[in-house]
Amino acid sequence: MATQVPSRQRTRRFQKETRLGLVRRARRMDRMLAETYPDAHCELNFADPFQLLVATVLSAQTTDSRVNLTTPALFAKYPTPEDLAAADPQEVEELIRPTGFFRAKTKSIIGLAAGLRDRFDGQVPGRLEDLVTLPGVGRKTANVVLGNAFGVPGLTVDTHFGRVARRFGWTAEEDPEKVEQEIAKLFEKRDWTMLSHRLIWHGRRRCHARRPACGACPLAPDCPSYGEGPTDPEVAAKLIRDRSFA
């Protein structure tokens, strides 16, 4: 059978879950994610905090692979915040056009570059409260930069992270900041950045928005949403987008 609604027994099990039980289950699932995706990492290419900041802003509403194809030419022409802050917007628009929403993104990255030049001596600040004052930079982008360029733990709540966390029953919140607050209480701070990578990888590879690969998911025993996608192993395996993790 290709699909299966979660059994009543399974549903009751998660409905009766205590707070301690939730913490233990969440951390057990993270350990399984670590085994499943041992190479999980930020999939944006960057050489320094400035490049990561710009690349993360460009990654909105597009794929990391598309951004990685676009940024080499952008950074070759504008290698520093000072260079990008002084750029002709039309020239920047043409370079980043493939990422979509290129006019709004051009305004954001030129604006953040000017902010770095004028307020931070041309350096990307290593504090969230400073990063979020830059144009186009919210908590998600700030946490990507802090976690991957500065080694400061942060939770990157993008669409994949939020969807997977809700399916796992770790939170019922829809607002990214509230999701971040709730998930932060379940895990040690030191684990936040890698947890983010693992959830995002899982969302991209198995736990898809429309048809999650439930029957090929190693987290199925602990997942209250098991059965939202095909549970037949062969059917589910075909949904995995990266076969190296099958």
CA dihedral (116, 119, 125, 127) positive or negative: negative
**Phi and psi dihedrals of 134, rounded to 5?**
-85, 145
Residue pair 177/139 in contact by the 8 Å Cβ criterion: yes
Q: Which of 105, 107, 140, 222 is catalytic?
A: 140
Token duo for residue 49: 């905090």
Radius of gyration, alpha carbons of the chain: 20
Which amino acid, residue 161? F
At CA 130, angle to CA 128 and CA 136, rounded to 5?
Answer: 85
Nearest Cα neighbor of 58 from 15, 110, 99 is 99
Token duo for residue 182: 């709730």
- Catalytic residue status for 140: yes
Q: Which of 88, 158, 185, 232 is catalytic?
A: 158
Q: Is 1 exposed, middle or buried (0-12, 13-18, 19+ CB in 10 A)?
A: exposed
- Catalytic residue status for 178: no
Cite the active site residues.
140, 158
